[in-house]
Amino acid sequence: MSRDFAPPPRATIEADVARALTEDLGSGDVTAALLPDIADSAYLLCKQDAVIAGRPWFDACHRALDPQVRIDWRIAEGERVASGTVLATLQGRARSLVSAERTSLNFLQTLSGTATLTAAYVDAVRGTRARILDTRKTIPGLRLAQKYAVRVGGGVNHRIGLYDAVMLKENHVRAAGSLTAAIQAARALRPSLPLIVEVETLAQLDEALQEGCTRILVDDFDAATRRQAVAIAAGRIPLEVSGGVDLAGVRAIAEDGVDCISIGALTKHVQAIDLSLKLGPSPA
């Protein structure tokens, strides 16, 4: 697993956590108030095989409610763990541990889900030249967190938003009158930004190769046309595949020789990892 990942700025993580805790706690945790406000312990259990991502958000949730809480992680961020693994132990105030439980788990379960699925795709294309990319199909308000989880899983971030790369698609081409006109307009407006161009035919591929860009997206090409596109591009400009990609078919796409495969499901179809936080000493 690649260790070349860094979390978003601390202020971003704390803002995510503050928003989530406000949503959950409201005017106060009326159930935790039934507990004695005494020192207690807890342990974090993973109930399925997973790649763990989201430790910074988990920690921030608990420290927001109890700055003195002690969290001892037994695993590293990005580590693959087996079902039944105790991930961490905590020492803090009983009420704070319980009040932070759900929000902290929501972050860790969601981000670990994204990292685990990303790792499965990365494993599936291992040995080919293809890199696994994410998309902008993220949970609103959690884009930086989810894109971080993709990196933890070994994937690569596509553009973060609408501001850090120019991406020309069919609507832009239609408005400009042609692919060439759209590329030239994009270069004139934002010459310093990466330029990604979607093509729908081999003729448009030739046009994009002639004009030049950072990457060419061959969207919804069938296998035969995709292999033709790889042969035509001949490594001059990286080719990206998007649309209709699943885990069963991703290896075949990668073996066609494309450079990137972008997959919205990494951040859109999130299956949370099964975790639980239990009060009391760790069983092992």
**Per-domain residue ranges of the chain:** 10-122+270-279, 127-268
How confident is the model over 190-217, as a mean pLDDT?
A: 97
* CA dist., res. 277 & res. 235, Å (int): 49
Q: Strands 86-93 and 70-73: what pairing? A: antiparallel
Dump pLDDT digits (tens) for 223-265: 999 999 999 999 999 999 998 899 999 999 999 999 999 999 9
User: Hey, what CATH topology would domain 10-122+270-279 get?
Assistant: Aldehyde Oxidoreductase; domain 3 (3.90.1170)
Q: Do domains 10-122+270-279 and 127-268 have the same CATH topology?
A: no
Q: Looking at the predicted structure, is the pLDDT value of residue 144 above 70?
A: yes
Cα atoms in the Cβ-side hemisphere of radius 13 Å centred on 262: 23
How confident is the model over 99-123, as a mean pLDDT?
A: 98
Catalytic amino acids?
Answer: 102, 137, 169, 198, 219
User: Hey, what CATH topology would domain 127-268 get?
Assistant: TIM Barrel (3.20.20)
* CA dist., res. 194 & res. 276, Å (int): 42
- Residue 185, both tokens: 């307009």
How confident is the model over 141-165, as a mean pLDDT?
A: 97
Is 135 annotated as ligand-binding? yes
- How does residue 125 score in pLDDT terms, banded at 50, 70 and 90? very high
- What is the pTM assigned to this prediction? 0.95
Q: Looking at the predicted structure, is the pLDDT value of residue 160 above 60?
A: yes
| Residue type present at position 193 | L
Is 3 annotated as ligand-binding? no
Angle between helices 10-25 and 55-65 (to 10 degrees): 60
Q: Looking at the predicted structure, is the pLDDT value of residue 135 above 50?
A: yes
Is 85 annotated as ligand-binding? no
Q: Looking at the predicted structure, is the pLDDT value of residue 2 above 70?
A: no
Are the C-beta atoms of residues 150 and 267 closer than 8 Å to each other? yes
Is 244 annotated as ligand-binding? yes
How confident is the model over 67-73, as a mean pLDDT?
A: 98
Is 102 annotated as ligand-binding? yes
Is 268 annotated as ligand-binding? no
Q: Looking at the predicted structure, is the pLDDT value of residue 46 above 90?
A: yes
Are the C-beta atoms of residues 137 and 243 closer than 8 Å to each other? no
147 strand-pairing partners: none
- How does residue 3 score in pLDDT terms, banded at 50, 70 and 90? low
- Provide the mean pLDDT of the chain: 96
Q: Which of 54, 273, 242 is nearest to 133 (CA)?
A: 242
The reported pLDDT for the residue numbered 1 is 46
Where is 42: in which H helix or E strand?
A: strand 39-46
